[in-house]
Structure 1
Amino acid sequence: MLLSDDHDVDGFVENAIGPVLDYDAERLTDLTRTLEAYFASGSSPTNAAEALHVHPNTVSRRLERIGELLGPAWQKPGQVLEVQLALRLQRTREVLTRRRAATAPARPPAGPAD
């Protein structure tokens, strides 16, 4: 991605984790956060469950759902790297969007036309 002529970050994120993001948005679930906790814990469902304050079985069920959404190869090394990079890019975009919104100048209220 970094070395290509096409820096389509949106396309990369969509291709790597789009189904998970869509699922979360449509159903108000925490699959994305579960993935982040799972990778942050060294791919340990038990440690991810502790970080998320949920039962380990909950994490296992969420990981199964993620597998259904991303396909059975999502935990293979090449795809894991893509998923992790897409998660980081998505999180970075969210932070930048929040910062821009917080620092955007306030618009003056609309008054009567002169």
Structure 2
Amino acid sequence: ILILSYLILSYLILSCLVLSCLVLSCLVLSCLVLSCLVLSCLVLSCLVLSCLVLSCLVLSCLVLSCLVLSCLVLSCLVLSCLVLSCLVLSCLVLSCLVLSCLVLSCLVLSCLVVCSMM
């Protein structure tokens, strides 16, 4: 009976050891799986965040370049309008001067003709 009780006790101890080893290995495996999942979620969120930041930077650069380009085009248009208006104004002034000179010379010529007839 002593041998039988020894065998039963040793079987119980051995089965407890095997069961505790199984539970411990399951715990370690579940911790490893959980840590891998958490790490992959962190890596994925970092990738998504970096993609969002990069797309925002690209979009802001595009908007800024469009604004700079439109300002350049607008300033060129304003400058060309100013140059064109100055040219038109100078042509008008020059034509007025030529016309007044012609009128003055006609007046002088007519005065000379009238004076010579007298």
TM-score by length of 1: 0.28
Larger RCO, structure (CA 8 Å, separation 6 or more): 1
TM-score by length of 2: 0.27
Higher helix share: 2
Q: Which has the larger radius of gyration?
A: 2
